[in-house]
Structure 1
Amino acid sequence: MNVLTRFVHAVRGWHRPLVLHAALMFGLAVFSAVAVFADDRLLLGEPVWAKPMKFGVAMGVYSLTLAWLLTRLTKGRRVGWWVGTGFALAGVLDVGAVAWAAAHGTFSHFNQDTDDVARTVQTVFSFGIMPLMLATLVIAILLLIQRTGDRALARALRAGLGLAFASMVVALWLSTSAGSAPRTEVDANGHTVSLVGAHGIGDPDGHGMALTNWSTTGGDLRVPHFVGLHAIQVLLAVTAILNVLATRRPWLRAERVRARLVGAAVFGYAGVFAVLTWQAKRGQSVLHPDAPTLVAFGAVVVLALVGAAATATAARRQTVELAAVHA
């Protein structure tokens, strides 16, 4: 049985609505990737289908992670099932609205026009965004009241979901505080559209880097939003790597050691998320950090590395001492 076959077999036991949702998202991402080349319409200099493609990939990865995570619950499994199902339905609505706007060559976010497409997207967003936040929060609370594995895994899951929730709060700032001054832009059909809000702070949208379209000339809250949303995947990868290394490094076999190392990774990741948010709110591009930002990043990295090094040194010393006692 190859890796793909084993993965498909395992997925069958995961939360089915979320698995189906992930499949739809990945399908949309593939369709959008083809449409990027087949449809030459541009929106603020970016292909109209680029946003649905990115949303499809991001939401697909996140929902697949939640689908697996809900199988780890030992308490509140029924609540978790319903919450996960609500997340899947809300996700379809939200990303569907993004794709609907792209198909019509207009803006999905910040669009204040009164035509049918804009009003449909506005209505969907008003109902769809809050369930995503609440579902993430409820699942995070369920994780806090139970053990879902060893201490390292539990710490990674709790911190990852906490950061994901924080990233969704940052996403709300996009519509309430980022670039709130009204402005007009031209959509892919040549129509003038009224926009209130922007991804960029200190500079309007349209000055973005390749692929991500994050602002190169101002702050951009999409950066911390992306980093926080995918914290759980990064922290799970750290946990998995430590588990693999533990088979070769005796000092890593103690559960508390791996938990402390994951804690150092959580501190570093959360610190980077906080600094990126602070940087964006000050209207500063992620590509052009000033001295205070660099100092903040440096402090986070140094403290995280010192914590990890102290844990590793103490664990190695204890392993050597125990080996000497039993020699």
Structure 2
Amino acid sequence: MAVLAVVSAVGMAVDERVLVGSPIWFKPLKFSISLLMYAMTLAWMLSLATRGRRVGWWAGTVVALTGAIEMVIIVGQVVRGRRSHFNYETAFDGLLFNVMAVTIVTLWISSLVISVLLFRSRQAGRAAAWAMRLGAVIALIGAALGNLMSQPTPEQQAAGGRGVSDVVGAHSVGVPEGGPSMPLTGWSTTGGDLRIPHFVGMHALQLIPLFLLVLIALAPRLARLRDERVRLRLVLVASGSYAAVLALVTWQALRGQALIHPDGATLTAAALILAGALAGTLVSLRTTPASARANDTDKELVA
């Protein structure tokens, strides 16, 4: 994926072709970077597993192989100048997209196996254990939300579904594909975009453990963060808030609303999530009694 990211970046610089309103090499660039982050994080988590290491090795290998197959198809379609996703224009295009669907489901199941191993493994500290577990669970939800994009749009259903339409499924909701979009991400600025909850959910795998690492880095300067119980509570609050944000951006996208143009209902929901996160943070930061910390001395390793 690291090599492919470089290749895709070069492709964007030298290949002027545009497909569905976006530079044709933009998709493999995004996918290779995303899979690189995903694979590195899973590899790190597997190294911390204390149970089922052989099962974890096989699950990780399947993730690597299915991700590679996915990228071979995406890059192959770029070379051919054709869409990789939702494309049923020819029998061959449809076959490739169906193969991609199978590889994604297989990758998801393998990631689920790894998540189960994380729940069964003993970790050095409850905060670390739950940061990895909850990050993996939210990432699985985000990956599963990608299935929403494969469903036919109302316009495609009106056209007769797969039997008539050359394209079945879409990223955008309420607007045509390939319209005005945000820089870097390519997300729609005029309607809903189902790639947003997919992205937000999947990268909980990195962001929630990263949040814990920030807490640990700040602990030498902030006495309250040295308490394992406080860090655990903050991780739980952050995970709950992250899940709420994922639900919010999913709801927003399904209503055909652009991320950067929220309505009153979206802003109200966002304000409630923010208030809940702040309240949870304040409660989490309360000082743990010394007696409670002493009772927890022997509980640092939790299944």
Considering the TM-score relative to the shorter chain, is it more than 0.5?
A: yes
Distance 1:100 1:156 in 2: 37
Cα deviation digits, residues 93-127 of structure 1 (max 9, x gap): 112211111111111111011253x1452242133
Q: Does 1:57 align with 2:57?
A: no
Cα deviation digits, residues 180-237 of structure 1 (max 9, x gap): 61699xxxxxxxx921111001112112222211111111110011111111211111
Q: Which residue of 2 aligns with 1:89?
A: 65
Runs of at least 5 residues in structure 1 that lack an aligned partner in the other structure: 1-24, 185-192, 323-327
* 3-state DSSP of counterpart to 2:261: coil
Give how far 1:45 is off: 2.1
State the AA in 1 paired with 2:174.
Answer: G
Distance 1:155 1:41 in 2: 45
Query: Which residue of 177, 180, 195 corresponds with 2:167?
Result: 195
Cα deviation digits, residues 165-194 of structure 1 (max 9, x gap): 11111101110255661699xxxxxxxx92
Give how far 1:249 is off: 2.1
State the AA in 1 paired with 2:125.
Answer: D
Q: Which residue of 1 aligns with 2:263?
A: 290
Q: Which residue of 1 aligns with 2:214?
A: 241
Where in structure 2 are the equivalents of 1:106-125 lying within 5 Å?
106-114=82-90, 116=92, 118-125=93-100
Q: Would the aligned equivalents of 1:180 and 1:197 in 2 still touch at CA under 8 Å?
A: no
Query: Which residue of 205, 209, 228 corresponds with 1:232?
Result: 205
Distance 2:154 2:234 in 1: 39
**Superposition CA RMSD, Å:** 1.9
Runs of at least 5 residues in structure 2 that lack an aligned partner in the other structure: 160-164, 294-303
State the AA in 2 paired with 1:206.
Answer: G
Distance 2:222 2:145 in 1: 39
Q: Does 1:147 align with 2:119?
A: no
* 3-state DSSP of counterpart to 2:205: helix
For this pair of structures, how many residues does the alignment match?
285
Give how far 1:132 is off: 1.2
Which deviates further from its counterpart, 200-209 or 67-76?
200-209
Higher relative contact order (CA 8 A, sep 6+): 2
Q: Which residue of 1 aligns with 2:80?
A: 104
* 3-state DSSP of counterpart to 1:195: coil
| Structure 1 length-normalised TM | 0.83
Distance 2:275 2:16 in 1: 46
Where in structure 2 are the equivalents of 1:178-327 lying within 5 Å?
181=156, 194-207=166-179, 208-312=181-285, 314-315=286-287, 318=289
Where in structure 2 are the equivalents of 1:62-77 lying within 5 Å?
62-77=38-53
